[in-house]
Chain A
């Protein structure tokens, strides 16, 4: 079974621009979560989607948004990019995400650099 895929793998943007990242979950998985990884803050939860609805949200500004499509694929968008948004953005999928015992399986990430 194919794993979680993320595109693109690398992105370079300038301050003020916006960016869209894409995530395709493991086949049959319906929950998708997004995380930001930076050297200073570590791994932080952004949000989680299930059945095209945002079910959980972390402490990030409104510039960070996401959505999920009917095929469970998800996108996240960051508007008005800031230098501090440079990070590795990781997507994870689970079957339902409704059980705390579910394992989250991660994609390879998208490395975003903001200049």
Chain B
């Protein structure tokens, strides 16, 4: 079965600093990986996905993710964090059309 893990429940970053939200995966076959963000009392917003090709995937709001096959990781990154980036972030893997989510990482960006 496919699975993803987000090893950090919370990440704290100062505004303007780079941020990384970690995700590792365990899949058989080709991994189709996704990142979503959730703001309070809102649904999930799609940020980016990795299907195949370039290991660096660019997404919405300045976010990007690096796919690393040898380390089975798909970390979310942003060069300069904004206070408005504070939210709950989910990594997910597609398993036959259904998404398997990690437990989520709370990102807090302080001014």
Contacts and interface: CB of A to CB of B under 8 A. Distances in A.
Interface of A: 4, 6, 31, 33, 35, 42-43, 45, 48, 55-56, 58, 90, 92, 94, 97-98, 100-109, 111
Contacts of B96: 56, 100
B41, B99, B101: which has the most chain A beta carbons within 10 Å? B99
Given A42-B103, A43-B90, A105 B46 contact: yes
A106 B97 contact: no
A33 B43 CA distance: 13
B32, B34, B49, B97: which has the most chain A beta carbons within 10 Å? B97
Contacts of A43: 90, 92, 99, 101, 104
Given A33-B98, A100-B94, A106-B44, 20 more contacts: A4-B43, A33-B97, A33-B99, A42-B102, A43-B99, A43-B101, A45-B100, A48-B97, A55-B97, A56-B96, A92-B44, A92-B99, A94-B97, A97-B97, A101-B49, A103-B46, A106-B43, A106-B45, A106-B46, A111-B41
A102 to B, nearest CB: 8
A46 to B, nearest CB: 9
Interface in B20-59: 32, 34, 36, 41-46, 49, 51
B97 A42 contact: no
9 contacts: A6-B43, A33-B98, A42-B102, A56-B98, A90-B43, A106-B45, A107-B43, A108-B42, A109-B42
Interface of B: 32, 34, 36, 41-46, 49, 51, 90, 92, 94-104
Contacts of B46: 103-106
B43, B45, B46, B51: which has the most chain A beta carbons within 10 Å? B43
Nearest to B34: A103
Given A43-B90, A90-B43, A90-B44, A104 B103 contact: no
Nearest to B102: A42
Contacts of A104: 34, 46, 99
- Is chain A's binding surface mostly helix, strand, loop or mixed? strand
A47 to B, nearest CB: 9
